[in-house]
Chain A
Amino acid sequence: MSQERNAGIEVEGLVREFKNGPRAVDGIHLRVAPGEIYGFLGPNGAGKSTTVLMLTTLLPPTDGTARVAGHDIRREGAAVRASIGAALQEAALDPLLTGRDHMRLQTTLQGIAKGDRRRRGDELLERVGLTDAADRKVGGYSGGMKRRLDLALALVHSPRVLFLDEPTTGLDPSSRADLWDEVARLAREDGTTVFLTTQYLEEADVLADRVGIIDQGKIAAEGTPESLKAEIGRPSVEATPVDRAERDAIADVLSRFGSTVPAPPGAAAVRLESGENLAEVVRALDAADLKIADLQLHQPSLDDVFLAKTGRKLDVSAAEEPASV
């Protein structure tokens, strides 16, 4: 088996049923290529965390199987665990230990050689920007700091596959962006395969090479964010006139480029026909001597994809999924 194949994820008909409950995961199939960032997108309760628990060997599947880093999750649990790093939902940290204490414990338990433990710990703490906070108790860390420490701990043994279960839930935009940068760097520079669950469309869009949309335990759609959005349709263009009285005239011009779609009051919008582009729209508006206060091109979003594939909007306030082991 090649090294390439060894660093990926192959899932075959994975099922997990909980007692007296529905199928949390209902026969999913997926492939994640080595070095790829795979975004597993879905609302709470869709089966994302349950899938991660099975792929990390923390929860046995009811049926089906998977190979992670070339090892069967049912029969080669120890080999799977040796190849993966995981930052699971809610950073699992001890509030009474410092960041450095966590590093010391993790490097020892991961079997890092005695002479390298301190160096590796310091290196990772620096990489996630926690050097100054390393000797403070984790109980006093912010949510973003906890998440970054959690990520650093998952990287102690340089895993080939990294599982991140909703790594940015509850983080402020700045902390979220920092974490995205680090995850992207891991895949780009270290060639780490990343399996990332998220309920944030933007996160999947920005970070993932490919996205799997899971809903009620089944994969509803899979592909690159661009291909999924392309399936939904073409972009729309929305124009707001300087003079509101010119709104109808603008709508007339726009209608030459595509079919009218709903727009905010005072603005007009159309879904562009294939082959039309924004430059041509601008030229036409200019030729008609219409003054435009605002002109926007809207690409179809993953939100549109989710709506089209599942028949509803992504609701992040839905009930929590069963994630206990």
Chain B
Amino acid sequence: MNELSLQTYEMARRSIVKVLRQPALFIFPILFPLIMMGINVSGLDAATEIPGFPTDSYLDFAIAFPMVQGALFASINAGSSVARDVETGFLNRLALTPMQRAAMLLGLFTGEMLVAFVSTLIYLGVGFAIGLHFASGFFGVLVLLALSLLIALAFAGLGAFIGLRTGSPEAVQGVFPLLFVFLFLSSSSLPRDLIEHDWFRIVATWNPVSYLFEGLRSLIIFGWQAKELALGFGVAAVIAVLGVYGATVALRTRVAAR
């Protein structure tokens, strides 16, 4: 294992160990989206009767929600964790070692992505157990996992950027409700063309989160849709690039003298 891989591995290990030692950090972020999905599936099932609704199973439509929400929780974890490192001086300890700066972020992101990956497997497992249909088959499941990981990286990048910029776990937690609003002001509950109010439809169309939902959903409901997948992967990649770049710059500023 080369130096960067070894350092990244140790930082990722630390990230995962921290999550496992705080059950609240993985039980609730997994459980809460599942509960939300359960409420939506039982309460909004009638939506499948709306003419033009793409599937007769609301579960197939709603399963993408916990995946994106789980990734959002990963962003909060990543942001809070790195902000705490700034606050406690642990970042200074790391900065005083010969560790490559990239390993700090790569390790953090790898750890959070692994947590998000396990979460997605659990969501899919629960989904299949209660009757989820998967139009794109086994290969589609793999692509969905890849897209989920990219979404987790995108959100973790944003979280790390906010955490490094502010150096305050409280500030990261404070941003959470704002990000949550983005989740709801999207096509999370209904396809965009079925949203009745114009303002909501326009906001959902401009909201990049809609394309993350639609990319995931296309694999589950429709099979292989090039445009939805390209938009899903494209939007996630753009957010990931912006988040990771922002976090890298913020880290460089924090350890400016290096």
CB distance A111 to B90 under 8 Å?
A: no
**How long is the Cα–Cα vector from A82 to B97 in the complex, in angstroms?**
7
A177: CB under 8 A from chain B?
no
B18: CB under 8 A from chain A?
yes
A108-B254 contact in complex given A78-B98, A88-B92, A92-B93, C-beta closer than 8 Å = no
Chain B contact residues, majority secondary structure: helix
Q: Nearest chain-A residue to B253 (Cβ)?
A: A325
**How long is the Cα–Cα vector from A138 to B14 in the complex, in angstroms?**
14
Residues of B within 8 A of A110 (CB): 97-98
- Convert A73-110 into 0s and 1s, putting 1 for each residue whose CB lies closer than 8 angstroms to a CB of B: 00001100110101011101110110001001110111
CB distance B14 to A77 under 8 Å?
A: no
Query: Of A53-61, A226-234, A264-272, A311-319, which stretch is located at the interface?
Result: A53-61
- How many residues of A are counted as interface, with CB atoms below 8 angstroms from the partner's CB atoms? 30
**How long is the Cα–Cα vector from A106 to B98 in the complex, in angstroms?**
10
CB distance B6 to A108 under 8 Å?
A: yes
B242: CB under 8 A from chain A?
no
A137: CB under 8 A from chain B?
yes
**How long is the Cα–Cα vector from A90 to B98 in the complex, in angstroms?**
22
CB distance B17 to A58 under 8 Å?
A: no
Residues of A within 8 A of B92 (CB): 58, 88, 92, 325
CB distance A105 to B14 under 8 Å?
A: yes
- Convert B89-101 into 0s and 1s, putting 1 for each residue whose CB lies closer than 8 angstroms to a CB of A: 1101111111100
**How long is the Cα–Cα vector from A104 to B7 in the complex, in angstroms?**
11
B225: CB under 8 A from chain A?
no
**How long is the Cα–Cα vector from A58 to B97 in the complex, in angstroms?**
11
Q: Nearest chain-B residue to A324 (Cβ)?
A: B167
CB distance B10 to A97 under 8 Å?
A: no
Give A residues with C-beta under 8 Å from B. Answer: 56-60, 77-78, 81-82, 84, 86, 88-90, 92-94, 96-97, 101, 104-106, 108-111, 137, 153, 325
Give B residues with C-beta under 8 Å from A. Answer: 3, 6-7, 10-11, 14, 17-18, 21-22, 85, 88-90, 92-99, 254-258
